[in-house]
Amino acid sequence: MPELFYIYVLESLSSNKRYVGMTIDINRRLKEHNAGKSKFTNAFKPWKIIYSETANSRKSARGREKYLKSAAGRRFLKNIFSLND
């Protein structure tokens, strides 16, 4: 069975920050962010997952992560979040 990669968006519960990342274990990674094991996210914890999607390869996951961090990707996410309000 092929390994799945998760592309995720976190939202800080203590500030108006979002973080985009990728992992093979989304639950472990969220725990790491909330335990302060990531330099950027440590200052704004706690975090919650507000969006995720999967990819079948590391290469496609990295590409999608890069897209979501771009201006076009941020607009895409903004549209998704505004639909959920």
| pLDDT score for 1 | 63
Residue ranges of domains in the chain, CATH in brackets: 5-84 (3.40.1440)
pTM tops 0.85: yes
CA distance 77 to 74: 5
Q: What is the pLDDT along the chain (85 residues), one digit of tens a residue?
A: 679 999 999 999 999 899 999 999 999 999 999 999 999 999 999 999 999 999 999 999 999 999 999 999 999 999 988 876 5
* 9 CB-side CA count, 13 A: 19
Instruction: Please give the full DSSP string across 51-71, using - where no structure is assigned.
Output: EEEEESSHHHHHHHHHHHHSH
